[in-house]
C-alpha cells in the first residue's frame, strides 16, 4: 500500500494482541490494513522478553493461540507429527514457547501478514474529516478510517535500591533490552515471580551457579489472575463499581508474583541438586556490604555472602497504571481519561473509529486485558 492510500484499518502495536487482531482483520474484514510497530517484525518485542526470561512453556493454555480457532495450535502440532497430549504441559495443556512461536509465524506466513508491516513508532494521531491521520517518527503520515491501539502496558521495572551501587553493565532487567550473551558463571536473580524463577532455572540448566533472591515464600498459581473474573458472570462486577473501587477490584484479581506448580517443583529439584540457592531479602545490603572488583560482585545478603558476575532483575514494576507516551499525548490533547486510563465505552472505543485493546482497556475488560493475549475486542466489520 502506498503511504497516502486511505486504509480501512491501521493497527498500532504488534505484540500478541495487535498481531492476533491483525490476523483476524485481514482474514475476516479487509486486506486494506497496515500494522505499525518500531520493533522490526510482528511479535519482535514480546519474543525478546520471553527469551530474556528463559521461558520454556507459555502460562496460557494451547487453546489460546493467535488464531480465533481454539483448536488451531493443537492441529498445528499434529501436523508436525507430534502428539499434543504428550507435548502440552498438564494440567491445563500449556504449549512450549517454541510451538507457540512457530505456530504464530505460520499464521502470519499463511496470510502474508508481514506485507502489511511498517517499522515505525506512531507519535501523534489526529482526526481529519472522516478519517484518522497517524504521524510516525520516520516522518510518514498514514490515513485510516479505523484505528486500533494495542500498545501494551509499558511499565518501568522496579529496581531495588542496592543495585545503584553495582556496576551499571552488570545489572539487567529481564523485561527490557536483550540480555548480553555472556553473563558470567555466577548470577543473582532478584524476584521470585514467574520471570525470575524461569530465568533462574534456564541459567541453572546451562551450568551456571544461580542465587535467587526473593522477598518471601514462592506463591503458586496456574494463572496470573483469578480464574473466572473475566467470565460472563463476574464481568458484571466491573460494570457495578467505579473509580478507585474499580481499580482495586482489578488489582485484587491479579496474581502477580506467582509461579506455576511445575516451575516450583523444578526449582526445588535444582535447589536439591545444588545449582540454585534461595536467599530471602529481609533487608537490602548497605554500601559497606557490597564490593566490586576483578573477582566479580560480592554482596552480603542476610547472613550469607555471595559472589556473582551479573544481577538480573525481575522484581515487578513501579506503576500500577499502564503508561504509554502516545496515550499520554492524546490525553493532553483532550481525549477523555479516568484514573490515568483512557476512558473507553463498552465497545472499547475511545473516539469514533479509534479503539484500544489490551492493558489500556483494563478498566473495561478486567485484568485479562493486561495479562492474556486473547483479545476481548471484536473489530466492527463495517467499513
Ligand X SMILES: Cc1cc2nc3c(=O)[nH]c(=O)nc-3n(C[C@H](O)[C@H](O)[C@H](O)COP(=O)(O)OP(=O)(O)OC[C@H]3O[C@@H](n4cnc5c(N)ncnc54)[C@H](O)[C@@H]3O)c2cc1C
Nearer to ligand X, 91 or 294 (CB): 91
Kindly tell me which residue out of 122, 187, 189, 238 binds ligand X, with binding defined by CB under 6 A: 122
Q: How far is the CB of 283 from ligand X (least distance, A)?
A: 29
Residues 6 or more apart in contact with residue 110 via CB below 8 angstroms = none
Of 175 and 297, nearer to ligand X (C-beta) is 175
Whole-angstrom distance, CA of residue 111 vs CA of residue 106: 9
Q: How far is CA 122 from the centre of its chain?
A: 20
Q: Is 15 in the site for ligand X (CB under 6 A)?
A: yes
Query: Judged by CB under 6 A, which of 59, 103, 172, 364 binds ligand X?
Result: 59
Determine, following the binding rule CB under 6 A, whether residue 315 of this chain makes contact with ligand X. Answer: no
Place of cell 486500533: 148
Taking CB under 6 A as the rule, does residue 335 contact ligand X? no
Give the residue among 55, 35, 53, 33 at the shortest CA–CA distance from 43: 35
Q: Give the nearer residue to ligand X in terms of CB position, either 142 or 211.
A: 142
Shortest spacing between CB 147 and ligand X, in angstroms: 11
Identified binder of ligand X from the candidate list 9, 46, 341, 350, rule CB under 6 A: 46
* 38: contact with ligand X by CB under 6 A: yes
Closest separation between CB of residue 44 and ligand X, Å?
A: 7
Q: Residue from 65, 195, 214, 230 that binds ligand X (CB under 6 A)?
A: 195
Note whether 322 binds ligand X by CB under 6 A: no
Residues 23, 58, 255, 311: which binds ligand X (CB under 6 A)?
Answer: 58
Q: Which stretch binds ligand X (CB under 6 A): 47-55, 67-75, 227-235, 236-244?
A: 47-55
Rg (CA), the chain: 22
The torsion of the CA quartet 324, 328, 329, 331, rounded to 10 degrees, works out to: 140
Question: How many angstroms separate the CA atoms of 97 and 47, rounded?
Answer: 9
User: From CA 186, how far away is CA 280, in angstroms rounded?
Assistant: 18
Cα-based distances in Å from 372 to 30, 225, 381: 25, 9, 24
Binder of ligand X out of 10, 23, 33, 53 (CB under 6 A): 53
Q: Is 23 in the site for ligand X (CB under 6 A)?
A: no
In the complex with ligand X, which residue's Cβ is closer, 35 or 301? 35
For residue 257, state whether it binds ligand X (rule: CB under 6 A): no
C-beta separation of 355 from 147 below 8 A: yes
What 8-state DSSP symbol labels residue 341? E
Q: Which of 11, 18, 26, 310 binds ligand X (CB under 6 A)?
A: 18
Q: Cell for 200?
A: 533462574
In the list 33, 34, 113, 152, the residue contacting ligand X (rule: CB under 6 A) is: 152
For the CB of residue 302, give the shortest distance to ligand X in the complex, in Å: 28
The site for ligand X, by CB under 6 A, has a size of 36
**Which residue stretch of 46-54, 80-88, 162-170, 298-306 sits at the interface with ligand X (rule: CB under 6 A)?**
46-54
Alpha helices by DSSP H, listed for 274-333, are: 325-332
The residue assigned the cell 522478553 is 49
Q: Verify binding: residue 358, ligand X, rule CB under 6 A.
A: yes
CA–CA separation, 35 and 160 (whole Å): 37
CA distances from 343 to 13, 328, 336, 355, 380 (A): 19, 12, 5, 11, 19
In the block, which residue shows the cell 507457540? 100
- Contact residue for ligand X among 34, 45, 214, 218 (CB under 6 A): 45
- Could you say whether residue 372 binds ligand X (CB under 6 A)? yes
Residue 104 corresponds to which cell in the numbers above?
504464530
Residue 54 φ/ψ region, left for φ over 0, alpha for ψ in the -120 to 50 degree band, beta for the rest: left
* Closer residue to ligand X in complex, CB, 175/204: 175
Contact footprint for ligand X (CB under 6 A): 12-18, 36-39, 45-46, 49-50, 53, 55, 58-60, 64, 121-122, 150-152, 175, 195, 324, 326, 358-359, 370-373
Amino acid at each position: 500500500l502506498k503511504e497516502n492510500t486511505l486504509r480501512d484499518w491501521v493497527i498500532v502495536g504488534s505484540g500478541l494482541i495487535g498481531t492476533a487482531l491483525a490476523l483476524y482483520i485481514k482474514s475476516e474484514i479487509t486486506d486494506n490494513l497496515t500494522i505499525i510497530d518500531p520493533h522490526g517484525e510482528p511479535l519482535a518485542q514480546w519474543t525478546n522478553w520471553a527469551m530474556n526470561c528463559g521461558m520454556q512453556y507459555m502460562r496460557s493454555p494451547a487453546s489460546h493461540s493467535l488464531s480465533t480457532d481454539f483448536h488451531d495450535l493443537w492441529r498445528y502440532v499434529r501436523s508436525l507429527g507430534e502428539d499434543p497430549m504428550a507435548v502440552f504441559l498438564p494440567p491445563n495443556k500449556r504449549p512450549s514457547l517454541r510451538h507457540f512461536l512457530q505456530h504464530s509465524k505460520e499464521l502470519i506466513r499463511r496470510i502474508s501478514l508481514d506485507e502489511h508491516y511498517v517499522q515505525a513508532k506512531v507519535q501523534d494521531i489526529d482526526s481529519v474529516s472522516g478519517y484518522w491521520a497517524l504521524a510516525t517518527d520516520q516522518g510518514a503520515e498514514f490515513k485510516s478510517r479505523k484505528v486500533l491501539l494495542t500498545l501494551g502496558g509499558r511499565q518501568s521495572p522496579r529496581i531495588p535500591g542496592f543495585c545503584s551501587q553495582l556496576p551499571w553493565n552488570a545489572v539487567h532487567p529481564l523485561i527490557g533490552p536483550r540480555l548480553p550473551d555472556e553473563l558470567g558463571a555466577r548470577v543473582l536473580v532478584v524476584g521470585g515471580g514467574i520471570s525470575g524463577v524461569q530465568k533462574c532455572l534456564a541459567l541453572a540448566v546451562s551450568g551456571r551457579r544461580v542465587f535467587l533472591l526473593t522477598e518471601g515464600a514462592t506463591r503458586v498459581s496456574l494463572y496470573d489472575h483469578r480464574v473466572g473474573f473475566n467470565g460472563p458472570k463476574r464481568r458484571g462486577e466491573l460494570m457495578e463499581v467505579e473509580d478507585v473501587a474499580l481499580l482495586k477490584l482489578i488489582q485484587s484479581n491479579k496474581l502477580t508474583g506467582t509461579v506455576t506448580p511445575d516451575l516450583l517443583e523444578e526449582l526445588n529439584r535444582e535447589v536439591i541438586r545444588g545449582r540454585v540457592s534461595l536467599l530471602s531479602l529481609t533487608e537490602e545490603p548497605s554500601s559497606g556490604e557490597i564490593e566490586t572488583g576483578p573477582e566479580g560482585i560480592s554482596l552480603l545478603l542476610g547472613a550469607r555472602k555471595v559472589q556473582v558476575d551479573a544481577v538480573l532483575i525481575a522484581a515487578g514494576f513501579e506503576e500500577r497504571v499502564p503508561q504509554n507516551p502516545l496515550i499520554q499525548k492524546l490525553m493532553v490533547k483532550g481525549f477523555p481519561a479516568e484514573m490515568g486510563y483512557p476512558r473507553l465505552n463498552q465497545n472499547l472505543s475511545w473516539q469514533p473509529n479509534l479503539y484500544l485493546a489490551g492493558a489500556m482497556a483494563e478498566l473495561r475488560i478486567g485484568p485479562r486485558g493486561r495479562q492474556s493475549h486473547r483479545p476481548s475486542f471484536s473489530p466492527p466489520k463495517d467499513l
